[in-house]
Amino acid sequence: MSGALFIVGLGPGSAELQTPEASSALAAASDLVGYAPYVARVPERPGQRRHLSDNRAEIARARHALELAAAGRRVAIVSSGDAGVFAMASAVFEAIETGEPGWRRIRVKVVPGISAMFAAAAAVGAPLGHDFCALSLSDNLKPWDLVLHRLRAAAQADFVLALYNPLSRARPWQLGQAFDLLRTLKPAATPVIFATAISRPEEAIDILPLGQADPARADMRTLVIVGSSSTRLIARDGAAPWVYTPRATTAVS
């Protein structure tokens, strides 16, 4: 087939955090496919077609991109952050596995991007310096009981936790329930980082102890990092503390 599909991670927001490979794939695409706010982050180019979809239509979006590529178009399907982290890469491969046999012959390339958890961690220091676990708190594609089961297991294993999709307008209770669970498993002084719109002009970062962490501080643009028992704060005069997790750690009982 003459067409191709590039699954592109746009990075967390700032153009400076978009990789050169991603920029090249976007510039060379005949068609852009994606959730409307993400496509809007890509500069318009003459002759390039844009195909916008709703946030929840992931499989339909992936199939549409594959249909375009099968017809000979050079397609970029975009995600925020890294396309392989709670984003479009897995949806595309699911569509390939269950879709038209000919789609398996399409040239498909995943173009990595900087995930929000890495941008947020870099902004405050090195909280992901030791073992960590990334979890999505969304129950759109898995039951809430499973979310809590995995959150409990990760907290009991003393991972640093990077929490994506902490809440939404339809489910404003999710992060509050997650904090309620974590407070039964972690000390109240455990550092919690709220990183909203990281790397964008409206960026806001707050560092609070778990005992005082208010879920109302977050929205769907927020990445929440919850420290492990090893995570430390380094106080600074006139500035927010640095947060880091040492490479060496002790065993948990």
Q: Which residues in the chain are classed under CATH 3.30.950.10?
A: 117-244
Q: Which residues in the chain are classed under CATH 3.40.1010.10?
A: 4-114
Q: What confidence category does residue 213 fall into, taking pLDDT thresholds of 50, 70 and 90?
A: very high
Tell me how far apart the alpha carbons of residues 8 and 253 are, in angstroms, rounded to a whole number. 42
pLDDT averaged over every residue in the chain = 94
**All residues at 6 or more sequence positions from 51 whose CB lies less than 8 Å from its CB, including other chains:** 31, 32, 33, 34, 64, 65, 68
* Residue 56 reports pLDDT greater than 70: yes
The pLDDT of residue 250: 65
User: What is the CATH number assigned to the segment(s) 117-244?
Assistant: 3.30.950.10
User: What is the CATH number assigned to the segment(s) 4-114?
Assistant: 3.40.1010.10
* Residue 1 reports pLDDT greater than 60: no
Of all residues in the chain, the percent with pLDDT exceeding 90 is 91
Tens digit of each residue's pLDDT (9 = 90 or more) over 141-167: 899 999 999 999 999 999 999 999 998
